[in-house]
Amino acid sequence: MLNRKNFLRKKEDFICKNCEVKVVGNGYTDHCPNCLWGKHVDEEIPGDRASDCKGLMEPIRVIWEKSKYKIEYKCQKCGHKFKVWADKEDNGERLLELVTN
């Protein structure tokens, strides 16, 4: 397990495995801005790339925290849950569909 608590920046481009949109990473991109799905590559902190699972991470809900949206994911392969901050480039309609009180 890593002792770090801060984000590890990784600039990576990818093709979304859910909606097939080409995503250009900015070093903070960890999910598709179109459909909000991700891939289980991180384990403890965003950017650690410590997971061997590589399953699809389904966005299951969005919460409002510290004046920002936070997306909660559940891995479709192993059940791991993970939360990340939404990005300004994310699909606003999709975020609102997932908002929970």
pLDDT 10s digits, 39-94: 998 777 777 788 889 899 999 999 999 999 999 999 999 999 988 899 999 999 99
CA distance 69 to 11: 22
Number of residues that this document lists for the chain:
101
Residue 6 lies in a domain: no
Residue 20 lies in a domain: yes
Residue 4 lies in a domain: no
Residue 7 lies in a domain: no
pLDDT tens, position by position, 4-26 = 456 667 788 999 999 999 999 88
Count structural domains, the chain. Answer: 1
CB contact burial 21-36 (16+ within 10 A = b; e otherwise): eebeeeeebbbbbbbb
Residue 37 lies in a domain: yes
Residue 2 lies in a domain: no
Range of the domain at 67: 14-97
